[in-house]
Structure 1
Amino acid sequence: MKIAHRQIGPDHPPLVIAEIGINHGGDLDVARDMVRRAAASGCECVKHQTHIVEDEMTEEAKEIFPPNADVSIWEVMERCALTPEDEATLKAYTESLGMIYISTPFSRAAADMLDALDVPAFKIGSGEADNLPLIRHIAAKGRPVIMSTGMQTIDSLRASVAILEQAGVDYALLECTNLYPSPPEIVSLRGVSDLRSAFPNAVVGFSDHSIGPEMALASVALGACILERHYTDTRYRAGPDIACSMDPAELRLMVDRSREIWIAANNDKSRTGPEEDVYRFARASVVADADLPAGHTLSEADIWARRPGSGEIPGFDFDTVLGKRLTRALRRNEQLKWSDLSD
């Protein structure tokens, strides 16, 4: 798939998405500074959350308290939502730094607003991964979609994926665990492989809520093409997602190390050019294991394989030498040559 100028897939380094989300607390200046620091860390893409609370929730939400907050989900989003004008400003600033700006719409109104802002792609969060009418509304915009799959099974995802495929949009599915933070005993790295197997048309990635970069980086070796993590300018900031957020230094590490792992994961099993000098001394050569007379028929007790590998007969040809007659006398530890042997 392609988002803005960026090709995404197995043939390209993983796209690292820094999710600012609501970590700015509704402050545009804080959000801009987070973007600036993400750009300085080498990140290519930041993701926001677009909340138009009245279209997103009913009044019942005022009585629902998330596990990682001490106020209702309504109040959390009301406090943290940027105005449409501020979001437009943030998108323009992000793009002025050469980065890709995407966002998660949590309602029809939010999707329509982002479409009017001409975002290059939509993100669908795990909580909306089975919200079929919203997915259908977003897919109808015709833009690429990245969908997190936390709290879902392969079977429960099929209807949502069918909508994306029927709309003809490029899409990615991200393995995800929705506990903030997620302990390793409930994180599923195998989910990356399961998604790749179940949905061969999808680009597959990993949306990480664990502490530290290890899980996300490990997912690259399993084929994850997108890495998404919550991101903040500092972990000393208050907010419901700060506990599982990376700071700019960890973001830089994720960008650099994920590319290194992607390169290594795609290298064939072979002896490389730089290894040749090592191979010449590390390899063993067949040698006489005792002083041997000319005309002697070689048995396994007469020869051995020892370093260096500068001899004419390598250790992997040991069995080929057995039963041959010597055309000349050899001293112990003298390297054998093919010309020393006859049938």
Structure 2
Amino acid sequence: MHPMFENLFVFEMANNHQGEISHGLAIIEALAGIARRHSIRAAVKLQYRELDSFIHPAYVGRADVKHIGRFLSTRLPDRDMLTLLEAAKASGLMTMVTPFDEASVDLALSHDVDILKVASCSATDWPLLERIAAAGKPTIASTGGRTFRDIDRIVNFFEHRNVETFGLLHCIGIYPAPIETIHLGYMRKMIQRYPNVTIGYSAHEGPDELDVVRAAVAMGAQILERHVGLATDQHKLNTYSLGPEQVEQWVAAAQRTRLICHTATKDKVIPNEEAVSLRELSRGVFATRAIKRGETLDRSSVYFAMPITVESQCTSGDYAETIVASRDYEKDAPILDVRDESAVRHVRDIVHEAKAMLSEAKVVLGKEFSIELSHHYGIQSFREVGVILIDLVNREYCKKLGVMLPGQRHPTHRHVKKEETFQILHGDLTLVVEGQTHKLVAGDLCLVGRGQRHSFSTSGGCIFEEVSTTSIRGDSIYDDQVVARLDPMQRKTVLETW
């Protein structure tokens, strides 16, 4: 996702300036106030058409063709459109233009707009898209009335032309759009289908409908677009545009939902108040009878009850029947001994996290594989130094998956017989080969030749594919002699079950 599109509101003025510059300026002033009050990043969007060439000469002035009369009656000179954009910039808003023809792209560029927009009706207008792509501006395309075959073509079109800042909006081209036609599930599919594209929602539902924007934000929409206007004695709002008060409510609903859905960090952050509340409701372990030091605390010797009476008391979740009393206990006394956090528990937690990472990345292993934990400085240091290797194929060619937990590194080594290529499937990997650093993300490839010294590490966690010649045990030669002197089985734990 490009930062420019993150949590971006787009206010579509279109013809709601009603062909009057004063009216358009009043709308911009109202929108700027809303953006300031809610501390949002917002863009005002206008529509550009070179009407003298856009409309066929034979249809100019005819009232029987929808839209043409409206386009002509609300026409503003180019200088007035520029005035509106300059007013938006002066108010702290970004500027955005939907050009409907090539001449309008050129005009938008001369007006130095921040973002170009592709309307749904233009989403497969390849001559126009060529001009838009060549402009080199951040671009957002609406997808109303477009199948996934169309959208696939649009995404690939802009990717092949190296338009790096690109977004898509799920959109229903009905004005206003009935609730049953909105189908936000398609937006969620777009998020999954195009992970390198910022996805949002262009709203055409009724102006008082707030549930849709809440749902869109909850499902991951980053860009939110809405038609806006200003009702006056002379001008009425259409059935799908929002007045300033409705815009304020719409923005507030989106922002509140973002707050509710916000993920602060990759791992869950447990507020102290929450931890205290849960502990107050948890059961502590107490002695059913007098217990002597050295006795095993089996189930007949303890019971579980709330509240926990001392800070260091064993809880029901920490209890195991193998705990041995380290002191004498009286009947009903709180048990202070807890189960040993053994290597087995440590390994089990590692396995659980690795399986969750694979599931989150949608990497399916199948049924035929073997697993080993490489722990070069002992299993207790695995979370700092190590890697989980999943062997899938090892013939004249070899395929493995590597799973690294956040913050892990793998020490410098080389292979005498094996050549290998790393491809990143998920996350980040910093691979250092013969002193040259490669910062890799999903999709990136890097070759490590025979005899080349290399090490790797990850910041946020990584899943990578290693494709190589035959993998031979003992073919890894480590720079650190502490590791090099170990038998391979001393630095590896082979898992029989997953």
The verdict on a shared fold, with TM-score over 0.5 as the criterion, is yes
1:32 corresponds, among 8, 14, 25, to 25
* Equivalent-residue separation in structure 1 for 2:85 and 2:284 (angstroms): 64
Larger Rg: 2
The structural deviation recorded for 1:34 is 1.2
User: For residue 57 of structure 1, what is the aligned residue in structure 2?
Assistant: 55
Equivalence map 1:161-180=2 (5 Å): 161-169=155-163, 170-180=165-175
- Is 1:292 the counterpart of 2:289 in the alignment? yes
Equivalence map 1:261-276=2 (5 Å): 261=260, 263-264=262-263, 268-276=267-275
User: For residue 68 of structure 2, what is the aligned residue in structure 1?
Assistant: 74
Cα distance change, pair 103–300 in 1 and its aligned pair in 2 (3 A):
farther
Structure 1, residues 130-154: CA drift from partner, whole Å, max 9, x if none?
A: 2222111222222121101111111
Cα distance change, pair 231–33 in 1 and its aligned pair in 2 (3 A):
same
CA contact (8 A) 2:96 2:116 kept: yes
- Is 1:90 the counterpart of 2:84 in the alignment? yes
The structural deviation recorded for 1:163 is 2.8
- Is 1:121 the counterpart of 2:115 in the alignment? yes
For residue 50 of structure 1, what is the amino acid of its counterpart?
Answer: Y
The structural deviation recorded for 1:264 is 3.3
User: For residue 196 of structure 1, what is the aligned residue in structure 2?
Assistant: 191
* Equivalent-residue separation in structure 2 for 1:37 and 1:128 (angstroms): 30
* Equivalent-residue separation in structure 1 for 2:329 and 2:159 (angstroms): 75
* Equivalent-residue separation in structure 2 for 1:215 and 1:116 (angstroms): 36
User: For residue 317 of structure 1, what is the aligned residue in structure 2?
Assistant: 318
User: For residue 330 of structure 1, what is the aligned residue in structure 2?
Assistant: 331
Q: Could you say which structure has the higher helix fraction? A: 1
1:222 corresponds, among 219, 223, 232, to 219
Please say which of residues 269-278 and 90-99 is displaced more in the overlay.
269-278
For residue 201 of structure 1, what is the amino acid of its counterpart?
Answer: N
User: For residue 69 of structure 1, what is the aligned residue in structure 2?
Assistant: none
1:138 corresponds, among 120, 132, 139, to 132
CA contact (8 A) 1:51 1:81 kept: no
* Equivalent-residue separation in structure 1 for 2:176 and 2:196 (angstroms): 30
For residue 197 of structure 1, what is the amino acid of its counterpart?
Answer: Q
TM-score (norm 2): 0.57
Query: The residue matched to 1:338 in structure 2 has which SS?
Result: coil
For residue 315 of structure 1, what is the amino acid of its counterpart?
Answer: S
Cα distance change, pair 185–64 in 1 and its aligned pair in 2 (3 A):
farther
Query: The residue matched to 1:40 in structure 2 has which SS?
Result: helix
Query: The residue matched to 1:135 in structure 2 has which SS?
Result: helix
- Is 1:232 the counterpart of 2:226 in the alignment? no
Query: The residue matched to 1:98 in structure 2 has which SS?
Result: coil
Q: Is there any run of 5+ residues in structure 1 with no aligned partner, and where? A: 66-71
Cα distance change, pair 337–286 in 1 and its aligned pair in 2 (3 A):
same
User: For residue 210 of structure 2, what is the aligned residue in structure 1?
Assistant: 213
* Equivalent-residue separation in structure 1 for 2:273 and 2:194 (angstroms): 39
TM-score (norm 1): 0.80
* Equivalent-residue separation in structure 2 for 1:138 and 1:49 (angstroms): 14
* Equivalent-residue separation in structure 2 for 1:24 and 1:158 (angstroms): 34
Structure 1, residues 281-328: CA drift from partner, whole Å, max 9, x if none?
A: 23332235xx6344696436951232347551112124x148867943
The structural deviation recorded for 1:172 is 0.8
CA contact (8 A) 1:135 1:160 kept: no
Cα distance change, pair 259–39 in 1 and its aligned pair in 2 (3 A):
farther
1:22 corresponds, among 8, 15, 21, to 15
Q: Is there any run of 5+ residues in structure 2 with no aligned partner, and where? A: 339-498
* Equivalent-residue separation in structure 2 for 1:167 and 1:245 (angstroms): 38
* Equivalent-residue separation in structure 2 for 1:278 and 1:235 (angstroms): 54
For residue 52 of structure 1, what is the amino acid of its counterpart?
Answer: E
Cα distance change, pair 299–274 in 1 and its aligned pair in 2 (3 A):
closer
* Equivalent-residue separation in structure 1 for 2:302 and 2:324 (angstroms): 11
* Equivalent-residue separation in structure 2 for 1:305 and 1:40 (angstroms): 57
Cα distance change, pair 190–309 in 1 and its aligned pair in 2 (3 A):
farther
CA contact (8 A) 1:64 1:73 kept: no
Structure 1, residues 9-31: CA drift from partner, whole Å, max 9, x if none?
A: 5xx4x111122222222221121
Count residues in correspondence: 321
For residue 100 of structure 2, what is the amino acid of its counterpart?
Answer: F
What's the RMSD between the two structures over aligned residues? 3.2
Query: The residue matched to 2:177 in structure 1 has which SS?
Result: coil
CA contact (8 A) 1:282 1:309 kept: no
The structural deviation recorded for 1:85 is 1.6
CA contact (8 A) 2:229 2:242 kept: no
Please say which of residues 236-245 and 221-230 is displaced more in the overlay.
236-245
* Equivalent-residue separation in structure 2 for 1:191 and 1:245 (angstroms): 28
* Equivalent-residue separation in structure 2 for 1:252 and 1:57 (angstroms): 36
Cα distance change, pair 134–286 in 1 and its aligned pair in 2 (3 A):
same
Please say which of residues 133-142 and 274-283 is displaced more in the overlay.
274-283
Cα distance change, pair 307–78 in 1 and its aligned pair in 2 (3 A):
farther
CA contact (8 A) 1:283 1:309 kept: no
User: For residue 68 of structure 1, what is the aligned residue in structure 2?
Assistant: none
Query: The residue matched to 1:210 in structure 2 has which SS?
Result: coil
Q: Could you say which structure has the higher strand fraction? A: 2
The structural deviation recorded for 1:90 is 0.3
Query: The residue matched to 2:98 in structure 1 has which SS?
Result: strand
For residue 336 of structure 1, what is the amino acid of its counterpart?
Answer: I
Query: The residue matched to 2:44 in structure 1 has which SS?
Result: strand
Query: The residue matched to 1:22 in structure 2 has which SS?
Result: helix
The structural deviation recorded for 1:213 is 3.3
* Equivalent-residue separation in structure 1 for 2:76 and 2:119 (angstroms): 18
The structural deviation recorded for 1:60 is 5.7
The structural deviation recorded for 1:273 is 4.2
* Equivalent-residue separation in structure 2 for 1:232 and 1:113 (angstroms): 24
